């Protein structure tokens, strides 16, 4: 590894697969590349697309991957918005063997939060995309695999994710969806009491709310740039 290593950051999403090179300081090197997530979103299908996506992105010394589900020691345990076949896939090992580079994998919302947090006190990130992601941090330390999205919320047997995911946005429209996002924020703030709550993900661009002082929108590129932090842990 060089004295100033480059990182290949990969973001696996339910809608899109993205990648970008990062310099030693975490700043983007070149443009982000993106393709649609294949359906069905099986490991074989997604890994085939990733290999094509990252082929032109060189050189790099290590790889960071954000994955939409529970990840333990580089192994994917859940993938609610992909395919059941992702259970117990050693994604870090597969990517490392393909690239020949050391690889670290983290929940995608966790990666995004690492790209925006200030590292002071309790901070949270919610990501709005195909589903809903959540990251929790204390003094900059990530608390892994908080699947708040699947906690019951709203009427009936639904969850936070059912209430504000991409399907809900398309079903109820942006105006009503924004009201739902407001309700989620109002529920989370007095329970978790974060010093700062960040809202990210691909659908955050549709949020048109007057936000409390401790809630702010986050640039979705943090889902890639946050990958540098995986090598500071």
Segment 9-52, tens digit of pLDDT: 999 999 999 999 999 999 999 999 999 999 999 999 999 999 99
Same fold, 7-111+224-231 and 118-217: yes
Q: What is the mean pLDDT of residues 161-172?
A: 97
pLDDT, tens digit, 9 for 90 and up, residues 70-123: 999 999 999 999 999 999 999 999 999 999 999 999 999 999 999 999 999 999
pLDDT, tens digit, 9 for 90 and up, residues 86-101: 999 999 999 999 999 9
Rounded Cα distance between 47 and 42, Å, is 8
User: Measuring CA to CA, how many Å separate 102 from each of 60, 149, 174, 212?
Assistant: 10, 30, 41, 41
Look at the alpha carbons of 201, 117, 71, 10 in this order and tell me if their dihedral is positive or negative. positive
pLDDT of residue 2: 47
Please, which pLDDT band fits residue 3 given cuts at 50, 70 and 90?
low
Look at the alpha carbons of 173, 13, 225, 197 in this order and tell me if their dihedral is positive or negative. positive
Task: Pick 7-111+224-231's CATH classification: 3.40.50.720, 1.10.287.3510, 3.30.420.40, 3.40.50.1980.
Answer: 3.30.420.40
Stretch (H or E) spanning 53: helix 43-54
pLDDT, tens digit, 9 for 90 and up, residues 180-223: 999 999 999 999 999 999 999 999 999 999 999 999 999 989 99
Q: Quote the CATH superfamily of domain 118-217.
A: ATPase, nucleotide binding domain (3.30.420.40)
Q: What is the mean pLDDT of residues 221-227?
A: 96
Query: Hey, where are the domains in the chain?
Result: 7-111+224-231, 118-217
């Amino acid at each position: 590894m060089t004295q100033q290593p480059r990182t290949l950051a990969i973001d696996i999403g339910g809608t899109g697969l993205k990648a970008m090179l990062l310099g030693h300081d975490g700043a983007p090197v070149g443009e982000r590349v993106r393709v649609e997530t294949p359906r069905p979103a099986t490991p074989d299908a997604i890994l085939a697309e990733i290999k094509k996506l990252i082929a032109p992105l060189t050189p790099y010394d290590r790889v960071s991957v954000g994955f939409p589900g529970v990840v333990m020691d580089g192994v994917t345990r859940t993938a609610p918005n992909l395919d059941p076949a992702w259970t117990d896939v050693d994604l870090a090992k597969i990517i490392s063997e393909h690239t020949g580079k050391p690889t670290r994998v983290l929940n995608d919302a966790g990666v995004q939060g690492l790209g925006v947090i200030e590292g002071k006190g309790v901070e949270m990130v919610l990501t709005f995309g195909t589903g809903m992601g959540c990251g929790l941090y204390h003094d900059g330390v990530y608390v892994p695999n908080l699947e708040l999205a699947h906690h019951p919320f709203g009427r009936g047997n639904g969850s936070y994710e059912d209430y504000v995911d991409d399907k809900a946005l398309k079903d109820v429209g942006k105006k009503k969806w924004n009201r739902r996002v407001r309700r989620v924020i109002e529920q989370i703030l007095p329970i978790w009491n974060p010093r700062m709550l960040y809202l990210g993900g691909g659908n955050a661009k549709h949020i048109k709310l007057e936000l409390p002082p401790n809630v702010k929108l986050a640039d979705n590129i943090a889902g890639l740039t946050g990958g540098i932090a995986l090598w500071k842990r």
